Chains A and B, each alone.
Chain A
Amino acid sequence: MTATTGGTPLTTERRRLVQSLASTVSVGRRLRDRVFFGLLILSLLIALVTLFALLIDTFLTGQTRLNSDLVQNMPSGRPARAGIQSAIFGSLWVVGLAGAVSLPLGVATAVYLEDFAPKGRWYISLIELNVQNLAGVPSVVFGILGLAFIARGPFSWGFTVGTGAMVLTILVLPTVVVASREAIRAVPPSLRDGALALGATRWQTIWRQVLPSAVPGIATGSILSVSRALGESAPLLLLGALTFVTFNPDGLDSSFTVLPLLIFKYASDAKAEFHVVAAAAIIVLLIMLLTMNTAAILIRNRYQNRRS
């Protein structure tokens, strides 16, 4: 170290100081740093490689059947002619309805809990506790609930699209509420103060300032919820979605089937040709998920860009 500082040559004291600055971190500590970083990269790689291995395997298995026939044909006993159209439309109907109902309900509940509910009352704490608990309940429980009360029991809607959509709504609602609450809570109080100080009512403040600010978080929450709903099989199994359905739903009272269950049916069939169809169907499911997620991300980004 022969650098000079400020034009004056280094004294031994200064030289020692500069040297110690350069090697403040001992060799041992630097090595530990590198090892830690290496472990992080390794974990990331394990996750990514596993995911890609599965994806590539599925793609290679199913690619021969990945054509328009798959989407245009209905399920059939003959593997060469088997398609998945009824399942695609069944999924779109049921999940679409569930999303359309759970999103406004969930956001409204979150708004109430955050901005209108009197804080600290026992019944409010009870509601909050239950909402958070419900988010962790295994989905098959909702299926049993739907079977007992909606398909049969008081509602008696039978094994229909309406039943499936309602059960999925209940299943997905807690997640939407929790995610929306986090998003609303993340809006800084200074924003609310600024709006209220101009004479805005509580509702005006929420509708015009808080909710628009919370859209990115709410959009993320709804992506997660709808994606989960698309992949649900256990609850819908209990609601009759595994029946051999060869038509698209045409109303709330139709029978239906969904993609995950049809994949399961094909994948567990004795004939190996059906497994190929199952793999192709998995790819279709993934494409649907990707499309929905991308749409929601685009919405989120558009809101974020408009505001900064």
Chain B
Amino acid sequence: MSEVSVTPEPTTVRPEIHVRADTAADGAEEAEVVLDVDQLSVYYGAFRAVRGVDLKIRRSEITAFIGPSGCGKSTVLRCFNRMNDLIPGARVEGTIRYHGIDLYGDQANAGEVRRRIGMVFQKPNPFPKSIYENVAFGLKVNGIRDKAEIEQTVERSLKRAALWDEVKDRLKTPASGLSGGQQQRLCIARAIAIDPEILLMDEPCSALDPIATTRIEDLMQEIKVDFTIIIVTHNMQQAARVSDRTAFFTTEINEESDRRTGVLVEFDRTEKMYSNPSDIRTENYVTGRFG
């Protein structure tokens, strides 16, 4: 019943891409681990929202987090770029290591973390500025002042986000004039302009129509060469289409407090998760028996 579709070949002209020195080739050898999550639990005050997550995110792969609502997928995602810091009372236990450095340790500054681990949100949130200024903002706040460099980077990012042709004649017009799908691609361009290593995408297509969704899925396949992508999605078919690995989360009801805690059920290569999962809960979810 579940099928895995073949990754489509990108048909657009590839802009100049720098190949990372240690990109592993597809095949038997596993890619390098960029994020090592060890017994991660997230608390909001006294309430444990997620418990005991163990994951390894590998370079240049697309990892999908799937699962029913409220099981902590977005919570775990937001831990990776320390956006949970913004929520009063949010607390993290366990470790998340980025190339060996603990993201929540003393060595890690939140702003620097976010510079290397970017995020695209569920609802497109372009700044109320021009298209150009949106993409340039990340560069400016990170200290890049040279106008020529900014212009080049803006153009490169918009091309990589497959938006350049549509906006090149109106870069100075407000970003709010774009359609939903264009706005989301603008947000992607904005995020990749500062050249992060990892791109977190929190249900990026849920507010978009199917055609815009397809364009963004194609885009993800194109840019995964340079960016490691983690995507949270409610759409199982989307996860099956785009991802290399899938993590399935679900909720457990705590008997005493009657509240739900999110847990990671299974994490494996996508083909295996959909065709031959190890856990019965995964099987039930992907075959549609619940959720």
Enumerate chain A interface residues (CB-CB to B < 8 A): 119-120, 188, 190-201, 204, 208-209, 213, 307-308
Which residues of B from 103 to 142 have beta carbons under 8 Å from A?
Answer: 111-112, 114-115, 118-119, 121, 123, 125-129, 137-138, 140-142
Q: Check if B190 is an interface residue, CB within 8 A of chain A.
A: yes
List of A residues within 8 angstroms of B88 by Cβ = 119-120
Residue of B at shortest CB range from A303? B128
Contact of A193 among B115, B118, B125 (CB under 8 A): B125
Q: What distance in Å separates the Cβ of B206 from its nearest Cβ neighbour in chain A?
A: 15
Q: Does B174 contact A (CB under 8 A)?
A: yes
Cα distance A39–B210 when bound, in Å? 50
Partner of A197 from the list B83, B128, B140 (CB cut-off 8 Å) is B83
Q: Which residue of B lies closest to A189 (CB)?
A: B86
Asked whether B176 is an interface residue with its Cβ less than 8 Å from the other chain, the reply is yes
Bound Cα distance from A200 to B126, whole angstroms: 15
Tell me the complex Cα distance, A193–B191, Å.
12
Q: B111, B128, B174: which contacts A199 (Cβ < 8 A)? A: B111
User: Closest 7 CB pairs between A and B?
Assistant: A199-B115, A198-B138, A307-B128, A190-B125, A200-B141, A197-B119, A199-B114
Nearest A-chain residue to B133, judged by Cβ: A208
- Distance of B117 from chain A, by nearest CB (Å): 9
Q: Which residues of A contact B127 (CB under 8 A)?
A: 191, 194-195, 209
Query: How far apart are the CA atoms of A213 and B126 in the complex, in Å?
Result: 13
Known: A200-B111, A308-B176. A193 touches B86 (CB 8 A): yes
Give CA–CA (A293, B142) in the complex, Å: 38
- Given A191-B127, A307-B128; A198-B114 close (CB under 8 Å): yes
> Distance (Å) between the CB of A211 and the closest chain B CB?
12
Q: Which residues from B are CB-within-8-Å of A195? A: 127, 137, 141
- Nearest chain-B residue to A305 (Cβ)? B174
Q: Which of A120, A201, A213 contacts B128 (CB 8 A)?
A: A213
Which chain A residue shows the least CB distance to B82?
A: A196
Cα-based distance from A307 to B119 in the complex (angstroms)? 23
Are the CB atoms of B83 and A198 closer together than 8 Å?
A: no
Q: Find chain B residues with CB under 8 A from A120 CB.
A: 88
Query: B187 in the interface, Cβ–Cβ < 8 Å?
Result: yes
A17 to B112 alpha-carbon distance, docked (Å): 66
List 26 interface pairs A-B (beta carbons < 8 Å), by A numbering. Answer: A119-B88, A190-B121, A190-B123, A190-B125, A191-B125, A192-B86, A194-B125, A194-B126, A196-B114, A197-B81, A197-B119, A198-B115, A198-B118, A198-B137, A198-B142, A198-B191, A199-B112, A199-B141, A199-B194, A200-B111, A200-B137, A204-B141, A208-B137, A307-B128, A308-B174, A308-B176
